């Protein structure tokens, strides 16, 4: 399907964000912006911001929508958390967003690496806010609890799509497990903003989307992101439909009517894009840079 004009956007120089790339490469860090081929990469890098991806750039799962490489990951690097915190300081970040690949090879699913990264950022940037975007840890008992106890201001776990499509789109994941993770975090850390995101255009119906939004509210989700699925390559799942900006505005209104505290919806919306603005909408007194 041809990319609609409202998604294509204006071309940006390949050199945009070269300074940021030098910081990241010098620190030996990966970003989900690059590995997942985010359409907003040039915009964010030019602003000097990025979402750190810990535990390497090789995922143990092969989701049908995701461009991140699948294979056998390397062992975790003991100094990764400190390198991340130093890079965040060098970038001047006041809101630090941390995600990871799925690490089903690790006993804790990688939860310990999130805890270490949060602690390192707290030491290096005590005034910064922290957002985590986590996998489901295969439901390992206590994994999400440890991260919630570390005190991130935002705890994000994306449902990505509707239950009917999980087997085809998110092999290895489980819809109810993901919902339970969000509900558990909200119960353990009620002061944290619990966040989740969905992609549209994977083959879902509007009725299915609305049912998922209701499930998210029941689980205690505060912040919602809705964006258009864009096929990373010919080997990934085809786009089933492109929603217009008007259709996204309608979904946003319906989500707000359900009681979400903040909703970002649009063709190029991604869960970590303008992440600080999502937090600021909940806490106007805060002033994170990004």
Please say if the pLDDT value at position 193 is more than 70: yes
What is the structure's pLDDT at 137?
97
Closest CA to 161 of 240, 108, 220, 268: 240
Instruction: Give the residue extent of every domain in the chain.
Output: 16-282
Whether the CB-CB separation of 151 and 126 falls below 8 Å is answered with: no
Q: What is the pLDDT of residue 135?
A: 98
Rounded CA separation 205/140 (Å)? 31
Q: What pLDDT is recorded for position 11?
A: 57
- Using the predicted structure, report yes or no on whether residue 182 has a pLDDT greater than 80: yes
pLDDT in tens, 112-137: 999 999 999 999 999 999 999 999 99
Domain over 16-282 is classified CATH 3.20.20.70: yes
Predicted confidence (pLDDT) per residue in 134-175, tens digit: 999 999 999 999 999 999 999 999 999 999 999 999 999 999
Q: Please compute the mean of the pLDDT values over residues 6-16 and round it to a whole number.
A: 65
Q: Residue written as tokens 């929508």?
A: 65
Residue 62's SS3 state is coil
Strand segments, DSSP code E, in the chain are 30-31, 52-54, 58-59, 69-70, 95-100, 129-133, 154-156, 193-200, 223-228, 262-266
pLDDT digits (tens, 9 = 90+) for 64-109: 999 999 999 999 999 999 999 999 999 999 999 999 999 999 999 9
């Amino acid at each position: 399907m041809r990319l609609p004009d409202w998604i294509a956007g204006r071309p940006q120089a390949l050199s945009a964000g070269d300074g940021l790339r030098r910081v990241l490469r010098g620190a030996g860090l990966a970003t989900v912006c690059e590995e997942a081929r985010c359409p907003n990469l040039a915009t964010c890098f030019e602003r000097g911001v990025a979402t750190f991806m810990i535990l390497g750039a090789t995922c143990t799962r092969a989701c049908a929508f995701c461009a991140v490489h699948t294979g056998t990951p390397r062992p975790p690097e003991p100094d990764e958390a400190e390198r991340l915190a130093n890079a965040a300081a060098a970038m001047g970040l006041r809101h630090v967003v941390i995600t990871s690949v799925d690490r089903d090879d690790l006993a804790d699913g990688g939860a310990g690496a999130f805890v270490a990264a949060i602690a390192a950022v707290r030491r290096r940037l005590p005034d910064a806010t922290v957002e985590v975007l986590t996998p489901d840890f295969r439901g390992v008992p206590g994994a999400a609890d440890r991260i919630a106890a570390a005190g991130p201001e935002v705890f994000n776990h994306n449902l990505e799509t509707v239950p009917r499509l999980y087997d085809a789109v998110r092999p290895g994941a489980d819809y109810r497990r993901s919902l339970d993770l969000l509900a558990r975090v909200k119960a353990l850390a009620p002061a944290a903003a619990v966040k989740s995101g969905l992609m549209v255009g994977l083959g879902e119906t509007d009725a299915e989307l609305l049912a998922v939004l209701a499930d998210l509210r029941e689980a205690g989700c505060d912040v919602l992101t809705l964006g258009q699925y864009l096929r990373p390559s010919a080997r990934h799942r085809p786009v089933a439909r492109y929603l217009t900006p008007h259709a996204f505005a309608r979904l946003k209104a319906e989500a707000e009517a359900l009681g979400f505290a903040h909703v970002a919806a649009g063709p190029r919306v991604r869960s970590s894009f303008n992440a600080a603005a999502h937090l600021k909408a909940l806490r106007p007194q805060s002033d994170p840079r990004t």
